[in-house]
Chains A and B, each alone.
Chain A
Amino acid sequence: MEKNDLRLSVSDFVGLVNQAFDYAMPSVVIVGEVSGLSVRQGKWVRFKLKDEVSSVDFFGSIYQMTTPLEDGMIVAVQGRPRLSDKWGFSVSMQSVQAVGEGSIKRSFELLKKKLEAEGLFDESRKRRLPDLPTYVGVISSTEAAGYIDFTKILNNRWGGMKVEVARTLVQGVRAPGQIIRAIEYFNTLGEPPEVLVIVRGGGDADDLAAFNDEALVRAIAASRIPTLVGVGHEIDTTLADLAADVRAATPSNAAQILVPDKRELIERSWNIVRAIVSNLERHRLDYEREVEGLISGAEQAMTYALQRYKDEVAQTLRLLKEYDPQTVLARGYALVRGKVEPGGTVEIERISDVIEAEVRNVKQK
């Protein structure tokens, strides 16, 4: 033992080691296979992470177990290395995420079953998104392709909105915590956005695993602001999708769901004007038909009246003709003028001649 060696009490040594850990590794993510998992008093979780050579102890509360664990699962655990004065060395778990297709699938199924039983994905919980939002909160990584797709489609389709973007990680064990804090941030604003959009582009199962984190899924379900989640490609389904009020197949689809296409709306408004023109034309035709009907009625009445007058005149003319003496003479009658007494002379007028005659006798009838 050298004279200059540092001499410490056990407690001081534990404190110093923890200080060194805090300085060198305030937070670390360790990937390995779960073994010896145990939950005590329904609250405290202990397990080991191991690989082919080494194993490390982990300790935490059940609330930090953000994905269901089973022995044999491959997980990434975020935590702080601690040296406990009673329990020795372990990593204090802060969050955990399944890694690898098999573990992710198993963890997904276990958590889905649990949350489904709690009614977190029930259709009755789903809220409608506003038709035309004016204030939107977005949670994403601003460098990610999914975010760029979302904003591009959003700007192409609609304008005039206030869009606030919370920049967070969208993959890895730190991502759920950041997204949860962003959800909380928007939810605690005095004037919160009308809708919260969480987007992330495609990736493999590991990339999307953050969106199967239990705490994140619960935060989405608990958001008082309606949520729209568009994560991955069309074929990907995460638990965050299931907990959202509205699920979009992709970030681009989220923009399509969020706002109408202004080109469609412009077309729709001009279609309304075209419908008005067509209605106006119909009214014009109705008026035209009405006027035509009135004119035709008047014409008919005039024709009828004219015919009636013509008939009357013809009849009068016929009567007048009957009374004409020439008409009577034409029928063979004769007109006698003169002194009608024996020896008198009379003039007998017929249609074609006038006869002078002497009266020989007059007999009373």
Chain B
Amino acid sequence: MSNKSKTIEEKMTELREAAAWFEGEDFSLSTASDKFKDATKLAADIEHDLKNLENQITVLKQSFEEA
């Protein structure tokens, strides 16, 4: 799944998982560079998404007056 189709929550979860990998026992220097690039991209995507998302506010036409 590309980053574009993921929700902000999913991206945050991935970012936290990446941080955990750097703290865990699976850490290896050979893949650290790629993992770090991925994490930086996720943070940049999250910032981009949050800055560009707008709420879609609709005022309903229905009347709630007593019939």
Contacts and interface: CB of A to CB of B under 8 A. Distances in A.
Contacts of B1: none
Interface in B12-61: 12, 15-16, 18-19, 22-23, 27, 29, 32, 36, 39-40, 42-43, 46-47, 49-60
A215 interface: no
Given A132-B8, A269-B47, A279-B23, A177 B66 contact: yes
Interface in A240-282: 262, 265-266, 269-270, 272-273, 275-277, 279-280
B60 A160 contact: no
Interface string A157-187: 0111111111110000010011101100100
Interface of B is mostly: helix
Contact of A265 (B12, B27, B57): B12
Contacts of B23: 279
A220 interface: no
A151 interface: yes
A142 B64 CA distance: 13
A280 B16 CA distance: 15
A140 to B, nearest CB: 10
Q: For this complex, into which size category does the number of interface residues on chain B fall?
A: 35 or more
Interface residues of A, number: 40
Given A166-B60, A166-B64, A283-B32, A160 B54 contact: yes
B46 A266 contact: yes
Nearest to A261: B50
Contact of A273 (B29, B39, B53): B39
A280 B32 contact: yes
Contacts of B49: 160
B60 A181 contact: no
Interface of A is mostly: helix
Contacts of A155: 54-55
Interface of A: 27, 94, 131-132, 142, 151, 154-155, 158-168, 174, 177-179, 181-182, 185, 262, 265-266, 269-270, 272-273, 275-277, 279-280, 283, 287
30 contacts: A27-B66, A158-B50, A158-B55, A159-B50, A159-B55, A160-B49, A161-B56, A162-B58, A163-B56, A164-B60, A165-B60, A167-B60, A167-B64, A168-B64, A174-B66, A177-B66, A181-B66, A265-B46, A265-B50, A266-B51, A269-B15, A272-B15, A272-B18, A272-B43, A273-B15, A275-B19, A279-B19, A280-B22, A283-B22, A287-B29
Given A160-B49, A269-B46, 7 more contacts: A151-B57, A161-B56, A265-B46, A273-B15, A273-B39, A279-B22, A283-B29
